[in-house]
């Protein structure tokens, strides 16, 4: 994560590593919106009733605690048919948490697991809509947890004095938008590099597997054949590959590297 000090346009920003701070008002607002979404969902599903918004706050609080503990465990599992099976497991987990939370506080009687599942789905959809409208869906905590998890899996850091290159990826940035940003002064450094001839702006066209891992492999390694998703099962070995797992990344690099990849071209130049 990073923290950027305020500075005039075009000046070099200052940077130092930091972690997201606990924002009490943000947390309370998210809790209230989740409870409101749950309360509205129970009004739609027959047979489920939360008598007051206060009871919805209690149930939403219990679900929030369980959500912090259980879904990350499911996400860390390497399962066959991971996309479909993981999605189904999370849905069933949401429904189970709703029934458990309601049962612990004896606030309402959920007639069936199907009703709990439908309520959880509706509540999740309503919560997302409310958070977007209220502007409370910009929390960096999830990103920090992903970075920390990758760092733990990677192991000890490697210290070296060998110079390297830092590649910065911006998801969803199209070629025309990048050109317009350089033309309008929103990306002055990039525009200066291209004008001076030290850098060249090239377009990358994604194929059917347009996700990050396949695009990075195509650009950096020169080949993304056989990478249908961010996580997939290799048909030849039956092994599950994940683009964020360091051992899998090493195997992907060994399989996909060609002389046309950006990494190979840079190595030849330097």
The 10s digit of each residue's pLDDT in 221-245 is: 888 888 888 888 888 888 888 888 8
Q: Which residue has the tokens 């999605």?
A: 87
What are the pLDDT digits (tens) for 90-112? 777 777 777 777 666 555 556 67
Compute the chain's Rg from CA coordinates. 24
Q: Between 5 and 16, whose confidence is greater? A: 16
The helix/strand/coil state of 223 is coil
227 and 192 Cβ atoms separated by less than 8 Å = no
Name the residue among 128, 102, 134, 132 with its Cα closest to residue 115: 102
pLDDT digits (tens, 9 = 90+) for 34-89: 888 888 888 888 777 777 777 778 878 877 777 767 666 666 665 555 555 666 77
Rounded mean pLDDT of 117-130?
82
Nearest CA to 72 among 146, 139, 136?
A: 146
Percent of the chain with pLDDT over 90: 5
Residue 33 C-alpha from the chain's centroid: 21
DSSP helix/strand/coil, 201: coil
pLDDT bracket for residue 179 (50, 70, 90): very high
Half-sphere exposure of 79 (CA within 13 A, CB side): 15
169-185 burial string, b = 16+ CB within 10 Å, else e?
eeeeeeeeebeeebeee
Give the confidence band of 11 by pLDDT, cuts at 50, 70, 90.
Answer: low
* Per-residue pLDDT tens over the stretch 125-147: 888 788 777 766 655 666 666 67
Cα separations in angstroms, 33 against 27, 119, 138, 152: 10, 15, 14, 33
What is the rounded CA–CA span in Å between residue 155 and residue 193? 36
The dihedral through the CA atoms of 87, 230, 146, 34 has a sign that is negative
The pair phi, psi for residue 237, each rounded to 5°, is: -105, -15
- Residues 6 or more apart whose Cβ sits within 8 Å of residue 135: none
> Which residue ranges make up each domain of the chain?
24-144, 204-270
């Amino acid at each position: 994560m990073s923290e950027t000090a305020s500075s005039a346009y075009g000046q070099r920003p200052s940077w130092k590593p930091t972690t997201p701070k606990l924002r009490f008002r943000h947390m309370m607002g998210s809790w209230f919106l989740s409870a409101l979404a749950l309360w509205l969902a129970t009004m739609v599903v027959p047979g489920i009733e939360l008598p007051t918004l206060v009871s919805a706050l209690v149930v939403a609080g219990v679900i929030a605690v369980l959500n912090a503990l259980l879904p990350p465990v499911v996400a860390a599992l390497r399962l066959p048919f991971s996309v479909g099976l993981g999605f189904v497991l999370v849905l069933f987990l949401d429904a189970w948490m709703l029934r458990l939370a309601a049962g612990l506080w004896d606030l309402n009687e959920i007639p069936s697991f199907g009703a709990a599942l439908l309520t959880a789905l509706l509540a999740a959809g309503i919560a997302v809509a409310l958070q977007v409208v209220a502007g409370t869906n910009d929390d960096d905590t999830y990103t920090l947890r992903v970075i920390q998890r990758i760092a733990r899996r990677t192991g000890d850091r490697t210290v070296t004095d060998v110079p390297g290159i830092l590649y910065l990826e911006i998801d969803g940035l199209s070629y025309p938008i990048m050109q317009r940003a350089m033309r309008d002064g929103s990306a002055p450094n990039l525009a200066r590099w291209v004008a001076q001839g030290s850098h060249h702006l090239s377009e990358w066209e994604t194929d059917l597997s347009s996700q990050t891992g396949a695009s990075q492999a195509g650009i950096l390694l020169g080949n993304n054949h056989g990478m249908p998703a961010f996580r997939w099962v290799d048909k030849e070995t039956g092994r599950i590959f994940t683009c964020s797992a360091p051992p899998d990344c090493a195997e992907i690099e060994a399989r996909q590297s060609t002389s046309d990849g950006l990494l190979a071209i840079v190595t030849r130049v330097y």
